[in-house]
Structure 1
């Protein structure tokens, strides 16, 4: 098993890169989150890797962080989710965003990733529940516990704001500014007032 590669970055053609390790060039596929953090060609680079053996190929996948590799390993264990889909997910969402989506059971966030349909999104939410977040070393707030609406009213207010075209970040900021026990209609009114400023 190849767990880590250290060497010189020879080629960058997303999603694939080539790392020269003492005269041997390893082709490694990386998520875009890792790709954007790579140094210039000819510079030293070190990546954690996952070696995948198939009937027709042996492939290496590289990651900048242990959390990314751990998430990738969880993803490829799910029926119907191969390495390509796992790379697409990690390219479209950070590990923290993926953990938040799983914790809050938000299929729509996963559906924004190309190649993820509603059945796959539902399977991901079911299979990953309880496996992302604390296991990846993320603090509870980063894993999504604090990001989820506190109650049904807040969830309804958030849905209304999203339906009106506000981003998740704007909706979350507006929810934080609301009084604790506000009703849905009053909450929407106050949130819209806050967002209009």
Structure 2
């Protein structure tokens, strides 16, 4: 089991990153809320990970903190929720925001997440309500209390920010049409792909 990685951040192709640890490059899929918190390329980064072994693949999911990983592990226990949908949920909102939706039975916000229909949203509210009874957020974990707009952004803009943002949203489960429309609605030439993804996700929720 791989539970934690610390190494040099080599690539960021949201929602995937490449991190080199002692000469080995690990491809890790992350929710956007965690990617926002990553340092610039070629800097040291620490990830908390969840390793999934399937018949056809071995997948490594990464998180900026233990709070997000804990919620991810609770989400994938819900009937009908796999890792991809759990990542989509954590990309659209922080762990604390999702917990708030569950506590307040906010069905309308949850159904806006790609892949979450009304029945799945209702199931999430019911099953997660029981699982979150003893939920406690580590108050020393700053990211869990940050809105995405509060997280420091990298100044390394990519050449095709719009295309990368659209591709990232499609990878998270949005349709090509939804992704195109959302990114175009927030696009300006001075924004990085991460800025566009963050703003597009906020606009859709």
TM-score range, shorter chain: 0.5 to 0.7
Note the C-alpha offset of 1:109.
Answer: 1.3
Please give the root-mean-square deviation of Cα atoms over the aligned residues, in Å: 1.8
| Per-residue deviation, 1:41 | 0.9
Q: How many residues align?
A: 141
Residue 49 of structure 1 corresponds to: 49
Max Rg structure: 1
**Structure ranking higher on relative contact order (CA contacts 8 Å, 6+ apart):** 2
The SS at the match of 2:18 is strand
Task: Give 2:83's aligned residue.
Answer: 83
2:135 and 2:12 mapped to 1: Cα distance?
31
With the length of structure 2 as denominator, give the TM-score of the two structures.
0.65
- Cα pair 1:11 1:17 within 8 Å, conserved: yes
Q: Does structure 1 residue 19 correspond to structure 2 residue 19?
A: yes
Q: 1:66-99: per-residue Cα shift (whole Å, max 9, x none)?
A: 1100000001111111100000000011111111
Task: Confirm whether residue 101 of structure 1 aligns to residue 101 of structure 2.
Answer: yes
1:64 matched residue in structure 2: 64
Aligned to 1:122: 122
SS in structure 2 of the partner of residue 129 of structure 1: helix
**Runs of 5+ consecutive residues of structure 2 not aligned to the other structure:** 146-205
Answer yes or no: is 1:32 the counterpart of 2:38.
no
1:149-164 correspondence to structure 2 within 5 Å: none
Secondary structure of the residue that 2:135 maps to in structure 1? Answer: helix
1:54 positional shift:
1.1
CA shift digits 1:2-44 (9 cap, x unpaired): 0000000011000000010111000000000011111111100
1:131 offset after TM fit, Å? 2.1
1:133 Cα deviation from its structure 2 partner = 6.5
| Corresponding residue for residue 183 of structure 1 | none
Moved over 4 A (4+): none
The alpha-carbon deviation at position 112 of structure 1 amounts to: 1.7
The residue aligned with 2:151 is: none
> 1:134-145 residue pairs with structure 2 within 5 A?
134-137=134-137
**CA-to-aligned-CA distance 1:80-123 (integer Å, 9 cap, x gap):** 11100000000011111111111111111101212211111011
**Alignment check: 8 A CA contact 1:48 1:62 kept:** yes
Question: What are the Cα deviations for residues 113-151 of structure 1, in whole angstroms up to 9, with x where unaligned?
Answer: 122111110110111013236424268xx99xxxxxxxx
> Does 1:6 find its partner at 2:11?
no
Aligned-partner SS, 1:28: strand
The normalised TM-score by structure 1 is: 0.68
Counterpart for residue 132 of structure 1: 132
